[in-house]
Chains A and B, each alone.
Chain A
């Protein structure tokens, strides 16, 4: 709540547009990496295809903006509708993937998520109504009451969504669901035998995870204002939303948050001072070194450090 109020005050007094754009990307990745972590971290199903869910959310929202034009009559109602729709469609896709997880585990699951992302790109590329390879233009509303600029409003909404995503992940982690999910991660068969509803939990985790990704995607069209399949349903989105939780630490909600904020900021700096390639290079190097040297992530390192202080 306090964070949200703080963010609201910032939008009222501070108007440098660049920082809003940069902050949007970081917030977007907080939501994506929390989403990824519900399935990848808690449940142990590594998803390479975040881009598919993100992209489906983005395209759903873009189509609604284009066909219904809610923004004119009800400017404050539009975004929630977009989020719900984007989240729902992504959740449906997640349901499909959830059924896939019944048969496929481990490495095969990860590879099929990759395949899912590529199939999604191909389908969008070939449907003219979705803009095909040329892409779609989405006009961001210029004005909205109480804010000097729509981007500032969008930023505030993203802050709220990120807080929700973190709270949601934290709730799952501390409830019986989280314990069930980690039982699935550690040994699916043993969990099944001791009465954990493995199937239900897996489908729930995939759907919860993909809903968050879809919601993050739903905000994207108004941010970029130009939607194009190859960069939206991209493997880059996949690697980022996987690298951030892994580098932050997958065992707890704080990991993806730390990872997304830290890497998001590093990437923005690399993007401005160097080029997009280098920002991917940074992610790649950090990902590989953390997987090798510190699989527990920053949170794990921090815990070890605190434990060594106590001794």
Chain B
């Protein structure tokens, strides 16, 4: 007999985690989905955000969400620089995209090793007064540790969705992803627009990193697990669709949470990769694909 309590709690936890996964995957949806750059190192940018948050929180007592916000401009600039060098070394020369992928694979290891050398391999966690508490709604228990990241993740996703749909720059980015030649004929500079988009993608990583370290203790190799999640979400959601990414993230969150509840937590980290394999083999265009 399946207990309703257990099922309901697992589903709610999955939805909450899903909101957070959306925040982690946004960068990939933008960078991979719209710019066609497979930034496989994205999860490591998220982990970098987590470590910055941990450092500022444990040394100066700053609120994790605040740190995530403060760091966004810095990450935006980093993203800009990364794109400029990527453009300079690969796109401008018409190099095959696989070389770019290998480049980011190398970057992934460089960031991971740098974190290990700076912070060591111990688990780290942040402190904030509200994180320990939880909201009791009848049979469902909602802990703030999950609820706040969910909320911020959904806000971030919605914000980005409206940015792409309504603002001038957002539309320019959508335009560059469809036809960058046409855009340059209309007098816009595709490289500048793309570097803004890449910057935005990396900027979401700082917030996602802050959320990550609120939810669970972090260690440098954790980023590897998230490669599967972010690509599963981005591909399942339909590349470039921010709205689709949110739905896909929640589906993945629920699937992982149910797996953890009924088969044990050891299986759940493989779920995202299995999901990814399945989606790629069966429907590469994703649920909301064009």
Contact = CB atoms under 8 A, between A and B. Distances in A.
A110 B98 contact: yes
Chain A CB within 10 Å, residue with most, of B98, B264, B276, B284: B98
Nearest to B36: A107
A108 interface: yes
Given A110-B98, A112-B276, A115-B273, A277 B105 contact: no
A287 B117 CA distance: 19
Contacts of B217: none
Interface stretch (A55-63, A116-124, A165-173): A116-124
B97 interface: yes
A251 B117 CA distance: 35
B76 interface: no
Contacts of A288: 103, 106-107, 110
B123 to A, nearest CB: 16
- Tell me the dominant secondary structure on chain B's binding face: helix
A48 B108 CA distance: 13
Interface string B106-120: 110110111011000
Contacts of B235: 108
Interface string A272-311: 0000011011011101100110010000000000000000
B227 interface: yes
Given A111-B276, A126-B267, A287-B102, A277 B40 contact: no
B270 A284 contact: no
Interface residues of A, number: 40
B38 interface: yes
A281 B102 contact: no
B281 interface: yes
Contacts of A116: 273, 277
Contacts of A278: 113, 117
A112 B101 contact: no
Contacts of A121: 270
Contacts, number: 116
A214 B283 CA distance: 30
A123 B276 contact: no
Q: What are the nearest 10 A-B pairs in CB distance? A: A122-B270, A288-B106, A284-B109, A287-B106, A115-B273, A118-B273, A284-B110, A281-B113, A107-B38, A115-B276
26 contacts: A48-B105, A100-B281, A104-B281, A107-B98, A108-B235, A111-B231, A115-B274, A116-B273, A116-B277, A119-B270, A119-B274, A122-B270, A125-B266, A126-B267, A133-B266, A235-B224, A239-B106, A277-B116, A277-B117, A280-B112, A280-B113, A281-B110, A284-B109, A284-B110, A288-B110, A292-B103
Interface of B: 38, 40, 89, 95, 97-99, 101-103, 105-107, 109-110, 112-114, 116-117, 224-225, 227-228, 231, 235, 264, 266-267, 269-270, 273-274, 276-277, 280-281, 284
Given A103-B280, A123-B270, A292-B103, 15 more contacts: A100-B281, A107-B98, A114-B273, A115-B277, A119-B277, A122-B269, A239-B109, A277-B117, A278-B117, A281-B110, A283-B109, A288-B103, A288-B107, A291-B99, A291-B103
Interface of A: 44, 46, 48, 100, 103-104, 106-108, 110-112, 114-116, 118-119, 121-123, 125-126, 133, 235, 239, 242-243, 246, 277-278, 280-281, 283-285, 287-288, 291-292, 295
